[in-house]
A and B are shown apart, each in its own frame.
Chain A
Amino acid sequence: MRKNELGRFSDASFLILSSLANGPKHGYAMMEDIRTFSGTQLEPGTLYGAISRLEKQGWIEALPTEERRRPYRITGAGVAALREQVATLEQVASVGKSRLATMEGF
């Protein structure tokens, strides 16, 4: 995986991949979906910066334009990358939880 190539867009990329995991969406639909499930308001500059990188990585794929809106969908490689990111986050969350529990125990 080439996560480091995503630079400052790595968080936005994770949110976009998560958003596309339940079906193709165009830019504005992604922004709305991300706001709903994560509370993060992505701005268009960040969104398209991340989209261009994800496309370059081959993790998402553009679908044909529908009245100026272009939907995107996650690719097989994108699903694998998302799965890996989710596993890392779960591990981090699990360590965080157990350390919090230890701290609270004191």
Chain B
Amino acid sequence: MTMRKSVVLAVVMSFVLGLCSALLAETTVNAKVDRTEISEGESVQFTIEIKGDASSLPALNLGQLPDWQVYSSGTSSNFSWINGRTEQSKQYNFILSPTRTGRLNIPAFRLTIDGKSYDTPQLSVMVNPVAMPQSRNVPPTSGRQRAQTSQQQQLSRDDLLLRCTVNRDTVYVNQQVTLSMKFYYRVRLLANPEPRIPQRTGFWAEDLGQWRSDQETLNGRDYNMAELRTALFPTAPGTQTIGSAEMNVVVDDGSSNDPFSFFNQGFPGYGGGRRLTLKSDPVKITTLPLPEAGKPGDFGGAVGQYQMTALVDKNKIEVNEPLTLHIKISGTGNIKSVGIPKVPDLPDFRTYQAGDDEKVEKVNYQVGGTKTFDQVFIPKRAGSYLLPSLRFSFFDPQARMYKTVTSEQIQVDVAPSKDRYASQVQNVQTNRIDLTAKDIRYLKTSLGELRSRRSAPISASPWFLIVMYMLPVLGYVAVLTRQRHKERLLSDVGFRRLRQARKLADSRLAKAKSLLDAADADSFYSEINRSLIDYFADRYNLPGFGLTADKIREYAVGKQSDVLVGQLLDLLQQCDFGRFAPGGSEKTQMTHLWESAKRLIVELEKTR
């Protein structure tokens, strides 16, 4: 595979992997209910779950929903932090209590996360009227009871009674009121009764166990009794009515003397027996609002009696090491409605709510339990810190006042991370940096030399560097060249004569000029002749002595132009004529000769 193909393949693979990763990392929002069909008076848990980065989400408020009363039951988070990568999911939990029967919708909600909108699906829940056959919950009449009642053939009005009572008729919002539904009977029942639980709109209901049976004397008469208790917590102040409870029963009215009637027992509608429907009176409850006077700022709606503890899983940690604070609230009251106490912002820690857990207990028909919240703290810096005490406020209906419980402050010692510390120790040893200092060093008091904000040092300029570094190199090359020149002048005679030919010729021409001015014709012509002959001899490294016109012509063939050689020979002839011809020479003639000689040397110099 060629290099080019490998690169293309790598790019394509990276793109595909990146696309898959991006899709996998997408934020998803979902909503669900724990049940899609409930009975009137029951509630559903509605959960909105966000997977992905939900750190920037504000608190979620559903507001008012038609057909539903909404109660927030807190949030829970899960996160993992591996190799610097955070994966989170967050759940917003709500308790929805229906205000009517039928198929009720939970509308879709639009959440905006990091500028993107997400819609939850619309859900529907079937709310049935309380007519669910619960005969299995009502304890069947025992054989002994049947024996007692089988003798009574005539039914009286008091033989069957259905009564609903509450343990108190005036309560505060979210204070427990216990509803007791009692079924009294003193006749033989041919089938298990079918109860119909009263409508409890406006209350948060919590079952307090199964039907229990007993015997009870009422108005001087002995009855078999079956009782079902329910804890109710009013959700709003005002007068609420608990509707009528109903009970469908089949009693023995004497028509079942058929010896084979036992075949029909337990099958209402077949054979004998009389079907009756009992109905209780509605019960009115007066719900008082919680007093405004003395309401603490951190009050979140809890009513009852509670205690709180806060413990950490460890007191000594390192920077970036998670620490879990377990906040535990326990007591009596509607524990499901208890929210997390406000955890103060700690600038030296990053905090995450890691989840919550609740355990509902029903002791002596009193609802209570424990709710635990886990808060994770991740220290940003080393040091010794005090996690401040937490406050939890509730309304105590017995004392009729608000109470606040607080947790203890917790000392946490955070050591620098070992990895980091190791690298810093390295720095300390190398650079003698005082990391044991408690604070940074003080300011500079002088502004110093102002520079342009974007000015770079001159050494960052490539041209500057090139020029500056070339200077010594060029200097060295110059010295080297000069040295070599000098060495050649010393060692190469021909080169030295060649290099000096012009200089010597000029020197002789200058001397000839002075002779011309002095009108010394013989010496002038000799000097001109000498300068020309010596120049040619130096130029071609020839011996100057005995260099005649013929030798010059012979030597110059192929090395010098015929014209210039001709001019040279002509000038030499003029010199000879001037020196040896009688009658002297005109100065103008001599000047012309001097100029011609000078011009010829210049021309010959050009042919080098």
Q: Indicate whether A and B interact.
A: no
- Interface positions of B (Cβ within 8 A of A): none
- Interface positions of A (Cβ within 8 A of B): none
